[in-house]
C-alpha cells in the first residue's frame, strides 16, 4: 500500500509540474497573440488540473481505506 501511495505522490508532483509548464506556455502564446495555441495550452492545463484533483481524491480514499485496514488489524 505504501508503494501505491508513493506512486500517487509522484503522479501528483508530475501533474503539478506539467500543469505549470502548460500554463506558462499558454500565457506565452497569449502574449504573442497566437490565440489558437494559447487556447489549446489552457485546455491542456485544465485537463491536468482535473487529473490532479482526481488523484488527490483517490489518495484521500486510499488513506481512509488503509486507516480502516490498520484499525481492523489492531483488533485481532
Q: What is the pLDDT of residues 17-29, one digit of tens each?
A: 999 999 999 999 9
SS3 1: coil
Q: Is the model's pTM score more than 0.75?
A: no
What's the confidence (pLDDT) of residue 41? 95
State whether the Cα torsion 19-46-34-30 is positive or negative: negative
Average pLDDT over residues 19-41: 94
Within the chain, residue ranges assigned H as helices are 2-31, 35-75
Amino acid at each position: 500500500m505504501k508503494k501505491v501511495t508513493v506512486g500517487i505522490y509522484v503522479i501528483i508532483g508530475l501533474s503539478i509540474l506539467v500543469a505549470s509548464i502548460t500554463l506558462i506556455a499558454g500565457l506565452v502564446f497569449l502574449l504573442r497573440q497566437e490565440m489558437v495555441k494559447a487556447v489549446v495550452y489552457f485546455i491542456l492545463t485544465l485537463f491536468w488540473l482535473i487529473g490532479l484533483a482526481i488523484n488527490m481524491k483517490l489518495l484521500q480514499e486510499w488513506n481512509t481505506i488503509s486507516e480502516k485496514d490498520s484499525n481492523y488489524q489492531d483488533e485481532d
